[in-house]
Structure 1
Amino acid sequence: MFKKQYWLLAVLLILSLLIGACSGPAPAAEAPAGSGAAGQAAAPAQVAAGSSQLPVDVPRQDLFVMDQIFRYSVIDNYNFWINGPHEPHRHALMMETLWIRDQETGERINDVAASGPVYNDDFTQMDVQLRDNIYWSDGVQFTADDLIYTVELLKSNPSLNKAGWSTQLNQFMESVEKTGDFSVRFHLTGPNPRFHNLFEARWNGIYMMPKHIFEEVEDPATFNFSPPVVLGAYVPVESDPNGYWELFKLREDWERTPAGIVVGEPGPPYVLTIFYGDSAKKAIAMSRGELDVYFDADIEAFETTLDTTPTARSWYTDFPWAYPNEVSTRQLTFNLDNPLYANKDVRWALALALNIVELQTEYIGGVAKVTPVHIPPTSTLTRIYLDPLEEWLQNLEIEIEPGVMYKPYDPTVPDQIAAWAESQGYQVPGTPREVFGTGWWKHDPEVAERLLLKHGFSRDGNGKWLTPDGEPWVINLISPPDENDAFRMANAAADMWSDFGIDVNLQGLERSVWDQNNFVGQFDVTTPWHSMALASGDIWPESRGLHPQYYVPAPEDHRSLGGSNVGRVNDPRIGELLDAMQAVNPDSEENFELGREFLKHWIENMYDITAISFKKFVTWDERYWTGFPTAENPTYMPLYWFQGGKFPIQDLDPVGQ
């Protein structure tokens, strides 16, 4: 458990591993899957002995080494139009859509499109002009035929339903026509000013298919698309059969790819993605010059990196260091198909049993912003949602006993965190609300107890909670250790709920196992991440999957009807609000006001416990490569595992050039 004593032990462990690493590496054995509360995957399989543990025979000065977020469980399958194959990093290097939305600059970047979407007056048609100078990796030119083939195949085949794309094309697209070799017109089923969002990547957008490849395939849903023919600047050339690493080579004709055209630079000749395991192993790899960028790490490993790798840095050069602008938040999500957690008062009780100040400081290191709902406190989203909701939050009341009302919101949380930071010797670079986010729920175990007693819960002679049927209350909480903040948040919840008298079975699961449990509802509480809004403030595109029309009960895969409803929320009011949003202009105040009503309804029902927004210790070593975006040079977002991560990779230069 992540108490203060554990932090000290973790630091000592990292330092001892670093000292041991100086004596030279040894070949690593194949790693077993992580399991148990502290389950961590081990180092990559089949690494070479000698002066380097990198598993590929490529000159180091030609190789950019990226932290692979997790070990791939689906190997040698690049069919990213079905659920299953893993797209992080890969879609940045290989896959293209029409547009990319950069989360740092807010800019819409034309990907395979040559310009932005053009709608008619009533938003029933959308015209797209395509680039006329990009080519597939086998030399065939990309044209309107590829785009039309892609959307028509996805629409006709419900098995090709990655991200609900098949479902949405059937719902919103009547037909598509070719208006030129590099232009198309979409005919929509009704007015829809958001149709372009299907092709505008925050995380991803509909990936373009090579028509000349897929039209020869008998069953595109079972086709593994290997080796892939891609529009991206890199192609895979070698990979670990156990899923620990993958090597990509820059195309000779990189200037005929969207990233090459947008950036105007070639990027590294080779890119290696590699999964080392936990934060300590990432710090060791970077200190040895065997990792150029890592996705995230816990604060102890990050501080160790700064101590052992003088050429390393994160977004900021000082506290709070980490990249703060990824538009997402972290939740403790309930399985509402479980009758215990279908009770709103139980969910509120579990929220009030948590101490958010301790969670944010002692478990996360004080470097993430607090938020009570799936809205990260970016400047834009704070202005649209969190600031207007503040007075409502301060006046919010819940009924703890018949006729007894209680105000659960504590607006002083950011001030408490700022006081902690100053006590640690940190300078707070702004107001507490700017740096640490919003208020949150009071830590009030006494009120939490009253809420539970109201519904027949009780305590045994040892103070342990019993469910209304008299059985010991055990919460099965699952979380992936490779997602540092999610796992830390899970440990905080496990500690605090245990202190409150609930037995918690915390399972640290390898990512593929955790994902599958989420898909089929095999958990009581899980730790996913989500934003209910785009960076623009539009809630509908990110929340449409919560509509009750997509609800399916566990153990059916929650994605089966095109939804994205891990918690199995089934609420007609959610559907009404989403339908109302869909009918209005996404940039209108009317849409934002509907969004505020949506958030109020979600909060009142405590459908999940949102704790913090995203921060990422995206940390890079400038020993071999330079030009990665920083707070001083925010050319692109540093989120290299997103589809838009292609641009900062393409913008890298060798050190000394």
Structure 2
Amino acid sequence: MSLKGGYILSTLLIIIMVLSSVIIMDIRPVEAQLPLPPGVPRGDVLVNHYEGGTLAVPDDFNVHVPGRPVAYGWHHVCHQNLWYINTTNNELISWIAAGPPEYSPDFKTVKIYLRKGVTWSDGVPFTAEDVVYATKLLMSDKRFGPYALLTSWVANVYKIDDYTVVYELLKPNPRFHYYLTAIIWGPSVYVTSIAKHVWEKVEDPVAYKNYPPLCLGPYVLKDFDRGGNWWLWERNENWWGTKLYGLKPAPKYYLVLYPGPEEKAALMFVRNEMDSKKTFAVEQMELVLQNPYVIGWRREPPLAWLFDPCNKGYTYNTFRYPYNITEVRYALRYAIDPVAVWKALSGPDGSKPVPMVLHFIRSPLVDKYVYSALKDELVKLGIIAPPDKVPAEVREHLKLLGFDADVAFWEYNPQKAEELLKKVGFYRGPDGKWYLPTGEKWVIRFLVTGPFHWETQVQGFLIADYWKKFGIEVEVETPEQAIWATRTTYGDFDIASTWPFCSMLFPDVAPHVWGYHSRYCHERQGGSGFFPCYGTGKETDLPFQWSQPAILAKHDAKAKEQRARLDKIIEEMEATPPWETEKMIKLAREYILLWAEITPGVPFFAHLFYTPQNTYCWDNWPTYPENYYMDPVNWWNHMLFIILSVKPTGRCPTKEATMPGAPPKLPIEIPKPTPTPTPTPTPTPTPTPTPTPVATTVTVTAIQTVTTTSVVTSTAVTTRVETVTTTKTETVTDWTITTALAIVLLI
């Protein structure tokens, strides 16, 4: 069987199954067989696909403990963040916060104003007491995910009044509020999800399920499947957003549903029983598009959203022998043909992934200042092939997008891979298989996603086939998401199809790399291949490690030196204000070259996400370019804004669906200081003049890149670069300016 034979055969079987079902079905919806209360019509419910598969513990809403998958609508319509970043236009959205944070001139104090009138779903006011209590609770037990982060930065947290919180930091950090902001998917710390009046009565907060969850959002939990396949949320008619600002979601109910195999989800779209989903396999998407009401990121082909902020590929467990040997990590990359994988994951509608072989997602700005600027060094490191070895098809695709066509993938070079392995003592046995220097047959335990990430699963099978072709024995494991999440969290794998190499901001990349500082090394960093622990010598503190032979001593010494450089770069990034763009670009380049030298994992590209959106029952979905108010990320926290924007079309029967309320934009409501009364002046002798101190000012110059991207053959990418200069008195940091102007988002 050819390299892709097994994949093609399984795909044909799926097509046959689905086609045989479609033949006997009417495309229009009948009475949808959805888990709804009796009498609820289809037009009252918005149905979103849950990609996580069946959950073993469906009533666990405690997001603060690593390894607990929480993606069942809670983060869309129940939890609400202090801030969100709209990835389409650089906007910092103040939501539960009344406005941007205020920083002291030394960046060691952060003041946060909370929006007055916000209440929990039980009617109790949300106040500074909740934020202070949540922060201190998460800092009290190292079993909480944010423990290391918060204890590394927070010296003290307290309230000034019921709506003002102050964080005192251990050291300057002009970006501390990023930890509390939904930038990619969600925040690092869900500080607004802990209701003090409930949690303070809990005996063991780590074991607590947070059920039933109290919500700050526009819906409350109505019901859920005890078998772990669906969660039904009901509109809260007493939501503070409706009372204070006129916000009201149109759907009466929000249903998050895992229907089983992908062909069942495809049939639900064909029958208008499902409204949105992250993506489908290419073949299934072709079937879904038989329904003329289904659109993607665009309403016309090519449909796929190209800008997922996480590069997909694989991560090495650098705490397992032999994957802590640099030559081994390099060799495994050379043994894979990346262009073949790229072609396999391209779509028939013209959608093709963008080659992205570095940590940073490739936008026009990143392409110019990182990919293109460093291409000579990247060739030397083997990260990319020399320009004359870039295939014509890949080169043309990069040109169409306006990217440097000389910077694509690495070179497929099995001979180079063999040389590297033999250099460090590996050898082939009489059976043609590779053996470790210690004499055992080399077997890779490759942890690959299950069907909940079909595109990563397909990519994983293709990668494994190349390693097998090269003579390495590979055991591919594809567990359900809950098991996959636990094993990747704790590092129970040799190599895993995870995606820690995410980014969105540039040149302010600090939020995307600071998690790799050694201060965050702990036993729950397996998803990054223990990259924060790389070079620290802390192997004995972690589970699942293998005993390491003496041959590793020189590699450990090299890793220790690299760790010192990596920590230094990250610390310098953290201390640099985001508007110092030239310095941030310099540090970003230094980081990327060191990352490439280490190669903790191998990204290929951000996968194509078709983001199917069904316009039969609901419309006003975000589409490029005519209605691009939000990226089509129905699996992120940002789905909130889509839910608050969709409108009923009138094609589906309704009872309690409404037209949406006011647009989901809230005013800045930071209180202004009360002016001190000026006393009546009295004549005084004229004093001897003394020099008047001049207020220190900071000039903020930012490059704002507005990118319009189309992959239609007749249309190229156009980029408008604007230089914006503003001046402010340095009393506090104005985050409306620094976020909207100094940070360029990758869109």
Q: TM-score range by the shorter chain?
A: 0.7 to 0.9
Aligned to 2:8: 7
Whether 1:543 aligns to 2:513 is yes
Contact 2:48 2:257 in 1 (8 A): yes
**Structure 1 residue ranges without an equivalent (≥5):** 26-49, 399-406, 423-427
Contact 2:621 2:645 in 1 (8 A): yes
Shift of 1:630: 0.8
Q: RMSD of the TM alignment (CA)?
A: 2.9
Shift of 1:137: 0.8
Aligned to 1:273: 256
> Match of 2:571, SS?
helix
> Match of 1:385, SS?
helix
Give the 3 Å change call, closer, same or farther, for CA 212–6 of structure 1 in structure 2. closer
Shift of 1:541: 2.4
Aligned to 1:56: 36
Match of 1:409 among 385, 402, 418: 385
> Match of 2:217, SS?
coil
Shift of 1:532: 4.8
Shift of 1:204: 1.9
State the alpha-carbon separation in 2 of the partners of residues 378 and 66 from structure 1: 29
Contact 1:355 1:442 in 2 (8 A): yes
Contact 2:152 2:519 in 1 (8 A): no
Shift of 1:536: 3.7
Query: 1:464 corresponds to which letter in structure 2?
Result: K
Contact 1:628 1:652 in 2 (8 A): yes
Aligned to 1:643: 637
Match of 1:498 among 468, 472, 477: 468
> Match of 1:294, SS?
coil
State the alpha-carbon separation in 2 of the partners of residues 170 and 6 from structure 1: 47
Match of 2:530 among 546, 550, 565: 565
> Match of 2:374, SS?
helix
More off after superposition, 77-86 vs 284-293: 77-86
Aligned to 1:599: 592
Aligned to 1:387: 372
Shift of 1:434: 4.1
> Match of 1:126, SS?
strand
CA-to-partner distance for each residue in 1:576-630, whole Å, 9 max, x for gaps?
2222222222332223322211110111222211111243121111111111101
More off after superposition, 497-506 vs 114-123: 497-506
Whether 1:483 aligns to 2:465 is no
Whether 1:313 aligns to 2:280 is no
State the alpha-carbon separation in 2 of the partners of residues 364 and 501 from structure 1: 27
Match of 1:243 among 228, 238, 245: 228
Query: 1:53 corresponds to which letter in structure 2?
Result: Q
Match of 2:568 among 571, 576, 595: 576
| Correspondences of 1:24-103 after superposition (within 5 Å) | 52-57=32-37, 58-70=40-52, 71-88=54-71, 89-103=73-87
Shift of 1:376: 1.1
Equivalenced residues, count: 606
Aligned to 1:127: 111
More off after superposition, 563-572 vs 71-80: 563-572
CA-to-partner distance for each residue in 1:38-76, whole Å, 9 max, x for gaps?
xxxxxxxxxxxx954323233211011101021223321
Contact 2:276 2:613 in 1 (8 A): yes
Give the 3 Å change call, closer, same or farther, for CA 76–499 of structure 1 in structure 2. same
Shift of 1:435: 10
State the alpha-carbon separation in 2 of the partners of residues 99 and 2 from structure 1: 46
Query: 2:57 corresponds to which letter in structure 1?
Result: V
State the alpha-carbon separation in 1 of the partners of residues 327 and 515 from structure 2: 25
Whether 1:195 aligns to 2:176 is yes
> Match of 2:139, SS?
helix
More off after superposition, 467-476 vs 60-69: 467-476
> Match of 1:332, SS?
strand
Aligned to 2:428: 459
Shift of 1:415: 5.5
> Match of 1:381, SS?
helix
Contact 1:373 1:603 in 2 (8 A): yes
Shift of 1:246: 0.7
Shift of 1:513: 1.2
More off after superposition, 69-78 vs 641-650: 69-78
Whether 1:216 aligns to 2:201 is yes
Shift of 1:190: 2.2
Query: 1:558 corresponds to which letter in structure 2?
Result: Q
State the alpha-carbon separation in 2 of the partners of residues 187 and 568 from structure 1: 27
Shift of 1:521: 2.0
Contact 1:518 1:566 in 2 (8 A): no
Shift of 1:150: 1.9
Give the 3 Å change call, closer, same or farther, for CA 602–142 of structure 1 in structure 2. same
Contact 1:327 1:376 in 2 (8 A): yes
| Correspondences of 1:373-452 after superposition (within 5 Å) | 373-394=358-379, 396-397=380-381, 409-411=385-387, 416-418=392-394, 431=400, 434=403, 438-452=407-421
Aligned to 2:490: 520
Query: 2:156 corresponds to which letter in structure 1?
Result: S
Shift of 1:574: 2.1
Query: 2:515 corresponds to which letter in structure 1?
Result: G
**Structure 2 residue ranges without an equivalent (≥5):** 536-562, 651-658, 660-747
Shift of 1:319: 4.6
Contact 2:109 2:167 in 1 (8 A): yes
TM-score by length of 2: 0.76
Contact 2:490 2:526 in 1 (8 A): no
Give the 3 Å change call, closer, same or farther, for CA 255–387 of structure 1 in structure 2. farther
Match of 1:585 among 577, 581, 606: 577
Shift of 1:520: 2.5
Give the 3 Å change call, closer, same or farther, for CA 257–113 of structure 1 in structure 2. farther
State the alpha-carbon separation in 2 of the partners of residues 300 and 189 from structure 1: 53
Whether 1:474 aligns to 2:416 is no
State the alpha-carbon separation in 2 of the partners of residues 244 and 411 from structure 1: 49
